[in-house]
Amino acid sequence: MSAVDQKTFWRTLGERATGVTVVTAQGPDGPAGFLGLSATHVSADPPILLVSIGKTTHALGAVRAAGHFAINYLPAGAQALADAFGGKSAERGAERFKAGEWRVLETGAPVYAAALGAFDCTVEEIIERGDTSIVIGRAVASLATGTGEPLIFFRGAMR
C-alpha cells in the first residue's frame, strides 16, 4: 500500500475502465469542449449529472457563461475526436468541432451526431474542490442510439 500522492491517485484511477466523453458548451466566443473522463450520474429523479472540470480548462469559462453543457458518449471509432478534445492534436478551441458532425438538442450545447448517447444539461450548481470545479446539471434532453460499441479509457489508453 502507498500514500495517495498525485501520481498514485491517477495510477489507481487508471484501474477503473470508464467511457470516454466529450463535454461541450456553446460559449460567448463559440463552441468549447474538453475530454471528460469523470462525467457521471447523480440522480434519476430528477435527472441530474455531474462532470469534473479542471479549473484551468478553457471550456470551464464557456460552461459558466452559457449555463449549460452536453455530455457526449463517444463510439469506439471516435479516438481521433477524443484526441482532439484531449489536447493530443494540433486543433485548439473551436477548431476541434471541425471533426465530425454536430447538432443541438435543447440548450444550444454542441452534441456529436455520431455519439452513442448524449445528455443536454442546464447548470444547477458549481462546487469548487481542489484543482477542480464540479459542475452539476439537470438533463433537459437526451439521445441514445442503442447501437455500437463505446470508446473506453483503461490504464492510460483508449480502447
Domain membership of residue 37 as a residue range: 19-152
CB 124 within 8 A of CB 136: yes
Is 6 a domain residue? Answer: no
User: pTM (2 decimals)?
Assistant: 0.92
The CATH number of residue 84's host domain is: 2.30.110.10
Q: What is the mean pLDDT of residues 14-25?
A: 90
Phi, psi angles (nearest 5°) of residue 58: -55, -35
- pLDDT higher than threshold 70 for residue 88: yes
Mean pLDDT of 33-41: 91
Helix (H, G, I), strand (E, B) or coil at 126: strand
pLDDT value for 35: 94
Residue 124 has which C-alpha cell? 444547477
The answer to whether residue 13 is domain-embedded is no
Count of domains in the chain? Answer: 1
Query: Is residue 121 domain-resident?
Result: yes
